[in-house]
């Protein structure tokens, strides 16, 4: 099924939570909005963090950086634990789903799955596969594809065309709604959602979505046509065996960004994004963090943060 193209998932906690529920993940783990990267706002995020999803624009500066970084790692090498679950991306616009798979697969021991879970079955069947084999397996995994397509049509924006199979780019797209600057999500244990939002009642808390001021980036108040190229991309940042790993299906391998823990993953992801990557994004569009928070762990889907 070479050349598959999916309609992108919206960076929206309601959509994401419903998608994961349909795949058989127990709903006591939820994505929630993160309202900022200031200490006061981050204090609203349940700890520890287990994964972070970062949504960002693929700029020319970023592509130069990516190529140079990959060549450096190939030349100098890096330590990567065999415990990391990593897959390549061969389906255009599937970066959101692949980011979720990376986040959950690398925290599978913390997750709760319903009986007959499609996602659990996919992870178990692909555990011994190579990153390339996992990518091909997803191409033919109709249960996930159909669920993804259903969820992609359930966001706040409308699709301008039905899904179809077309030659794909390696980039991903996200839906957008007007009058907002960023798109962020975090994942929290269900009984933490209410208290987290109530900690700072004086703050103006509202959901942020990508701002529609750059038509050249392909952002619209209506979800773009499935044939339209929009250079936005999700990656996952996870803690595995004491290290922070960047998992990006467009790259040939996981990237080890140094030591971390469940307690420091959120701050480490913020530092990595702000100090190392933001300058690569800002000329065209501010970056967006999604914090993935689960129970005692948070995963930056930022599962919800906004970079300022």
Q: What is the DSSP string of 92-106?
A: BT-HHHHHHHHHHHT
pLDDT tens digits for range 104-161: 999 998 888 999 999 999 999 999 999 999 999 999 999 999 988 888 777 655 444 4
Burial profile 177-206: b = 16 or more Cβ within 10 angstroms, e = fewer? beeebbbbbbbbbeebbeebbeeeeeeeee
The set of residues, in sequence order, having a beta carbon less than 8 Å from that of 304 and lying 6+ positions away, is 13, 31, 32, 33, 34, 35, 45, 184, 185, 186, 289, 290, 291, 293
pLDDT tens digits for range 274-286: 778 877 766 544 5
Give the pLDDT band (50/70/90) at residue 227. Answer: low
> Between residues 105 and 303, which one has the greater pLDDT?
105
Backbone angles phi, psi at 238, to 5 degrees: -135, 160
Query: Which pLDDT score, from 0 to 100, does residue 155 have?
Result: 62
The residues carrying an active-site annotation are: 95, 233
- Work out the mean pLDDT of the chain and round it to a whole number: 71
> Between residues 28 and 178, which one has the greater pLDDT?
28
What does the block give as tokens for 56? 């960002």
Q: Is the pTM of this model over 0.85?
A: no
> Between residues 91 and 213, which one has the greater pLDDT?
91
Side-chain-facing half-sphere of 190: CA atoms under 13 Å: 10
Instruction: Provide the residue count of the chain.
Output: 308
Instruction: Give the whole-angstrom CA distance, residue 146 versus residue 252.
Output: 27
Are 34 and 289 within 8 A, CB to CB?
yes
pLDDT tens digits for range 1-35: 457 888 887 777 778 788 889 999 987 666 766 66
């Amino acid at each position: 099924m070479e050349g598959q193209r999916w309609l992108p998932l919206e960076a929206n906690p309601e959509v994401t939570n419903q998608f994961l529920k349909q795949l058989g993940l127990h709903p006591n783990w939820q994505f929630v909005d993160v309202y900022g990267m200031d200490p006061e706002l981050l204090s609203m995020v349940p700890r520890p963090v287990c994964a972070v999803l970062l949504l960002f624009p693929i700029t020319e500066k970023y592509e130069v950086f990516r190529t140079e970084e990959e060549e450096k790692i190939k030349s100098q090498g890096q330590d990567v634990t065999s415990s990391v679950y990593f897959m390549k991306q061969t389906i255009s616009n599937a970066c959101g789903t692949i980011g979720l798979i990376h986040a959950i697969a690398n925290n599978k021991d913390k997750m709760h799955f319903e009986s007959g879970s499609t996602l659990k079955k996919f992870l178990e069947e692909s555990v011994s596969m190579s990153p390339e084999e996992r990518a091909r397996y997803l191409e033919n995994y109709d249960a996930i594809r159909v669920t993804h397509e259903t969820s992609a049509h359930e966001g706040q924006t409308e699709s301008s065309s039905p899904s179809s199979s077309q030659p794909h780019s390696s980039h991903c797209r996200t839906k957008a709604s007007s009058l907002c600057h960023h798109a962020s999500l975090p994942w929290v244990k269900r009984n933490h959602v209410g208290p987290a939002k109530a900690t700072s009642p004086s703050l103006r808390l509202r959901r942020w979505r990508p701002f529609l001021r750059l038509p050249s980036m392909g952002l619209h108040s209506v979800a773009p046509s499935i044939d339209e190229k929009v250079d936005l991309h999700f990656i996952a940042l996870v803690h595995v065996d004491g290290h922070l790993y960047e998992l990006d299906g467009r790259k040939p391998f996981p990237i080890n960004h140094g030591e971390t823990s469940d307690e420091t993953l959120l701050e480490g992801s913020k530092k990595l994004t702000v100090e190392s990557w933001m300058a690569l994004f800002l000329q065209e569009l501010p970056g967006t963090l999604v914090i993935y928070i689960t129970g005692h762990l948070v995963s930056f889907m930022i599962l919800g943060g906004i970079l300022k």
